[in-house]
Amino acid sequence: MNGIFRLTVRYLLYNKFKTITLILCVTLSLLLPVVLQFGVTQFEQELQFRARSTPLIAGAKGSRFDLVLESMYFSQGELESISMKEVEFIEETGYALPIPLAVHFTAQGSPIVGTTLDYFEFRDLSVAVGTSLKRLGDCVIGANVAEKLQLKPGDRVISDPLNVFDLSGNYPLKMLVVGVLEESNSPDDDAVFVDLKTEWIIAGIGHGHQKINVETDKDLLLKRDPQRTVANAAVPQFNEVTEENLASFHFHGQAETFPISSIIVVPFDEKSEVLLLGIYDVEQSTLQLVRPVVTVNELLAMVFRVKKLFDVNTLLVAISTALLLALVFLLSLRLRKRERQTMFQLGCSRATIWKLQFTEVLFILGASLVLVLMVAIVFQMYASQVMRFLFF
């Protein structure tokens, strides 16, 4: 048997191009369904776990899928904003803990999430290095953000403008990194967390600028009289919150009217959850209150319907690849007819000759399976990050 293995290996090594081509053909035909199955399984587990840990989500009426995905994965959607008075309303009912989320901006490509300290407790997030949010202008970054941008406590990160040609709508803010979260293998690893007031400063609702008094340059003033001094838009605004200028930051308007993206609603018990659902399940309500688990199941049902099409396509590709390989082996047998005759004349039995052919096939299949296994192991290690990058 050792002689058969030796001859087979020598033949495959001598015909390198043919061997590599056959191995790649078999590997690719096997790899597609394996990776697809791993991807769909990881996609399902990722969505289900995040959805089960999020009881209810409140947001503007519209697409439930966008609302759930933006609230759980911080994707930049087209959701209409709601106001802080909705948070106050849920608090006043006494049925649940509302956790506001404002997801409108990014910092070097990573989503900026404006929220409260309740979010960290709700998601069981702890700070690995540094401290939690303390004052205006601070931010806490996820583990992946810290690694990707090479940031640590004490560094600064700047928010991205919505439009690089028009800075009138929002002001890029240089934020102080005060902490790095422990890795949680969740979308929180890829986010930059700030206080809601910091989010509103980026949105242009609040700002800080130099003090306006009688000594201020008249070119920076809109109106000056004995009672008051009014500045114009030429007054330079601070793009960073420091200890020296912290007191100058202020907001225009009532806090209850300030915008947020959505609200994570954590009911205190089952009865409270039912009562809340009843409050928002009326036509007069401007908000929708959804169960993420139900919405995710609907989304997965559509995904699995699409997967059936991929399964049919994979089956057809596998059949065509098998037929192609069979044709290649048949042609190879015809081309090697004289070789088999020579081996038979040297004393090899016909059974031994066919064993050589069969061993070649086994070697090619074995090498393909090893490659598929290696790629599958690597993909499984990074499946969560890949799925999050592709879909969220």
d(CA 292, CA 162): 29
Same domain, 198 and 323: no
Residue 87 is assigned to a structural domain of this protein: yes
Condensed to tens digits (0 to 9), the pLDDT of residues 127-137 reads 999 999 988 88
Where is average pLDDT lowest: 87-101, 246-260, 344-358?
344-358
Q: Tell me what pLDDT residue 344 has.
A: 67
Q: Tell me what pLDDT residue 116 has.
A: 93
> What is the percent of the chain where pLDDT is above 70?
80
Same domain, 331 and 264: no
Condensed to tens digits (0 to 9), the pLDDT of residues 27-63 reads 887 787 777 777 777 777 777 888 888 999 999 888 8
Of the pLDDT bands very low, low, confident and very high (cuts 50, 70, 90), residue 251 is confident
Same domain, 277 and 365: no
Distance, C-alpha 156 to centroid of its chain: 23
Angle between helix axes 292-335 and 350-391 (nearest 10 degrees) is 150
Same domain, 338 and 266: no
Condensed to tens digits (0 to 9), the pLDDT of residues 369-386 reads 888 888 888 877 776 666
Q: Which has more confidence, 223 or 72?
A: 72
Same domain, 142 and 282: yes
Dig out the tokens for 166 from the structure. Answer: 């028009």
Same domain, 142 and 196: yes
Same domain, 69 and 201: yes
DSSP state of 155: -
| Mean pLDDT of the residues in the chain | 79
Which domain covers residue 358, as residue numbers? 1-48+299-391
Q: Tell me what pLDDT residue 389 has.
A: 63
Whether residue 99 contacts residue 118, with contact meaning beta carbons closer than 8 Å, is answered with yes
Dig out the tokens for 358 from the structure. Answer: 């069969």
Q: Tell me what pLDDT residue 13 has.
A: 79
Whether residue 189 contacts residue 95, with contact meaning beta carbons closer than 8 Å, is answered with no
Residue 212 is assigned to a structural domain of this protein: no
Q: State the average pLDDT over residues 324-336.
A: 73
Same domain, 14 and 141: no
Minimal CA–CA distance to 186: which of 144, 151, 152? 144
Which residue in this structure is represented by tokens 């991807």?
Answer: 39
Residue 244 is assigned to a structural domain of this protein: no
Same domain, 172 and 101: yes
Helix residue spans in the chain (DSSP H): 2-14, 16-52, 64-73, 85-93, 117-122, 143-149, 196-202, 270-280, 292-335, 337-345, 350-391
Burial level of 262, CB count in 10 A (0-12/13-18/19+)?
buried
Q: Tell me what pLDDT residue 232 has.
A: 44
Same domain, 132 and 193: yes
Residue 227 is assigned to a structural domain of this protein: no
Residue 148 is assigned to a structural domain of this protein: yes
Dig out the tokens for 74 from the structure. Answer: 């911080």
Model pTM score: 0.71
DSSP state of 240: B
Q: Tell me what pLDDT residue 103 has.
A: 92
Distances (CA, A) of 131 to 176, 178, 187, 194: 12, 6, 20, 13
Residue 187 is assigned to a structural domain of this protein: yes
CB atoms under 10 Å from CB of 284, counted, come to 5
Q: End-to-end alpha-carbon separation of the chain, Å?
A: 54
Q: Tell me what pLDDT residue 163 has.
A: 61
What long-range pairs does 323-331 form, CB within 8 A, spacing at least 24? 324/25, 325/22, 325/25, 325/26, 328/22, 329/357, 329/361
Most confident of 28-42, 131-145, 157-171, 316-330: 131-145
Whether residue 190 contacts residue 144, with contact meaning beta carbons closer than 8 Å, is answered with yes
Distances (CA, A) of 43 to 38, 137, 314, 373: 8, 35, 19, 20
Q: In the Cβ-directed half-sphere of 27, how many Cα atoms lie within 13 Å?
A: 18
DSSP state of 81: P
Q: Which has more confidence, 49 or 126?
A: 126
Q: State the average pLDDT over residues 144-163.
A: 88
Q: Tell me what pLDDT residue 247 has.
A: 74
Same domain, 260 and 157: yes
The residue from 264, 290, 316 where one domain ends is 290
Residue 247 is assigned to a structural domain of this protein: no
Phi, psi of 206 (to 5 degrees): -125, 160
The residue from 242, 261, 290 where one domain ends is 290
Condensed to tens digits (0 to 9), the pLDDT of residues 175-223 reads 999 999 999 888 899 999 999 999 988 888 876 655 554 444 444 444 4
Whether residue 224 contacts residue 218, with contact meaning beta carbons closer than 8 Å, is answered with yes
DSSP state of 150: T
**Number of domains into which the chain is organized:** 2
Q: Tell me what pLDDT residue 97 has.
A: 93
Of the pLDDT bands very low, low, confident and very high (cuts 50, 70, 90), residue 347 is low
The residue from 233, 266, 290 where one domain ends is 290
Q: Tell me what pLDDT residue 245 has.
A: 76
Same domain, 259 and 308: no
d(CA 171, CA 160): 9
Q: State the average pLDDT over residues 276-303.
A: 83
